[in-house]
Amino acid sequence: MTGMQSSFFEVQQHGDVALLVLTPDRMTEEENLEQLDRDWVALTDTYQIRHIVLDLSAVQYMTSAAIAKLIALHRRLVRNEGQLVLCSLQPEVTGTLATSHLLSYFKVAGTPAEALALYA
């Protein structure tokens, strides 16, 4: 995946799994969420990534618009026989996902290592 750059995340390749470490501390409409979506589409379509671990350790707050982008990524991966695992959720993000009844929708792991182990 040489050449893939995003202002939203850093990519670490672990075999056929991409570990994406989100860097913004707030995922809101003030961020360019459409660009984030385009970056995720590049990963899945251009680089053919099917398995993603999304490390949310830096994200302190996430709006419904950002959650919608997570759902879209999840659906895109599942349609292509892939999987998304979220990890390192901060309390505020966990609360938002719980309130939205999405903690059971997404696969969630405590740490990146635990998330990567789900693919082993």
- Report pTM: 0.94
Q: Residues 84, 109: contact at Cβ < 8 Å?
A: no
Q: How many helices (H) and strands (E) does the chain have?
A: 4, 7
Instruction: Determine the CATH number of domain 9-117.
Output: 3.30.750.24
In the chain, domain spans: 9-117
Tens place of pLDDT per residue across the chain (120 aa): 666 789 999 999 999 999 999 999 999 887 789 999 999 999 999 999 999 999 999 999 999 999 999 999 999 999 999 999 999 999 999 999 999 999 999 999 999 999 999 998
